[in-house]
Copies of this chain bind each other. A is one copy, B any other.
Amino acid sequence: MKNIYIIGIGLIGGSLAIDIKRNDPETVIYGISRKDATLEEALSLKLIDKKATLDDISNADLVILAIPVDATVKLLPTVLDKISDSALVIDAGSTKLDICKAVENHPKRRNFLAMHPIAGTEYSGPSAAISNLFVGKTNIICEVEKTTFKLQEKALELFKSIGMRIRYMNPEAHDKHIAYVSHLSHISSFMLGKTVIEKEKNERDIFDMAGSGFASTVRLAKSSPEMWTPIFRQNKTNVIETLEEYINNLAHFKKLMESDDFEAVFDEMKNTNHIKDILEGIS
């Protein structure tokens, strides 16, 4: 694919740009962003070859949307309006239902492929882009049957070239499951950070006592609120369900402690220890 337009040159868009360009130096990577400063930064970091605007994408072989999920829902129909009949459009959003719905009746629906690459760090913006971010990671593709077969093939070739494993799923199942293994982790981390920061206001030096365990558990609290607020909004029902179960489990643990039932406290932890085996496959 010769002309690739990436809308949103942050952690995901920028990292895709690096790997795609490395694998195929002939490709021209165009960056599109609301903010010119972002494009200038992306240029100086050599993530993109050229700046562009939405009006240029009639020229695209591939358009990748790597922007907040609310912006994707708004922009995706316009992108499909503007592309040529042979172009492929991919989004990289962390929710899939609202995005798929936004274009379900679009005349160019078959030019679109919905994906969610399970890859990232807690950082954001062009400077967060890194090479090989996607190697060995899972890429969830939704409603694959709604994409033209030829464009599916092109997309799969691209994903293979950057090292991703593919999983197929419907958007409802994606949004439900990802609430547990990703969205809830972010809230648990943010609220842990909040709880400790609030305490620290009155108790100096508390962080001098924090070790690598705390750092690991609270790492996701560095994540971008600009990115995560629309995710929580779009996946509201599922996320609230996971939060309810999490809060119930915490309240139950607290109750066991209050009633001095430390045998049960032990069992709670022992039964969860087998997360070890589960995590073995995750880098």
Q: Find residues 137-185 in chain A having any chain B CB closer than 8 Å to their own CB.
A: 137-138, 140, 167, 174, 176-178, 180-182, 184-185
Closest to A185 in B: B217
Q: Is the CB of A207 within 8 A of B257?
A: no
Closest to A264 in B: B229
Task: Identify which of A34-42, A73-81, A234-242 touches chain B.
Answer: A234-242
Closest to A196 in B: B180
Q: Is the CB of A250 within 8 A of B246?
A: yes
Q: Is the CB of A229 within 8 A of B265?
A: yes
- The answer to whether A182 and B210 touch (CB under 8 A), given A188-B192, A254-B240, is yes
Closest to A249 in B: B191
Closest to A203 in B: B177
Q: Is the CB of A247 within 8 A of B244?
A: no
B137, B211, B270: the one within 8 Å of A282 (CB): B211
Question: Does A128 make an interface contact (CB < 8 A)?
Answer: no
Q: Find residues 32-76 in chain A having any chain B CB closer than 8 Å to their own CB.
A: none
Residues of chain B within 8 A (CB-CB) of A254 are 240, 243-244, 247
Chain A: interface residue count, which band? 35 or more
CB distance from A155 to the nearest CB of B (A): 19
CB distance from A265 to the nearest CB of B (A): 6
B216, B230, B253: the one within 8 Å of A219 (CB): B216
- 29 A-B contact pairs sorted by A residue (CB < 8 Å): A118-B211, A167-B205, A174-B209, A177-B205, A177-B206, A180-B195, A181-B214, A182-B211, A184-B196, A185-B218, A191-B272, A194-B272, A198-B249, A200-B278, A210-B278, A212-B282, A213-B220, A215-B282, A217-B219, A217-B220, A221-B275, A222-B275, A222-B276, A223-B269, A228-B269, A232-B262, A243-B250, A247-B254, A250-B250
- Which residues of A line the B interface, CB within 8 A? 118-122, 137-138, 140, 167, 174, 176-178, 180-182, 184-200, 203, 205-223, 225-226, 228-230, 232-233, 236, 239-240, 242-247, 249-251, 253-254, 257-258, 260, 262, 265-276, 278-279, 281-283
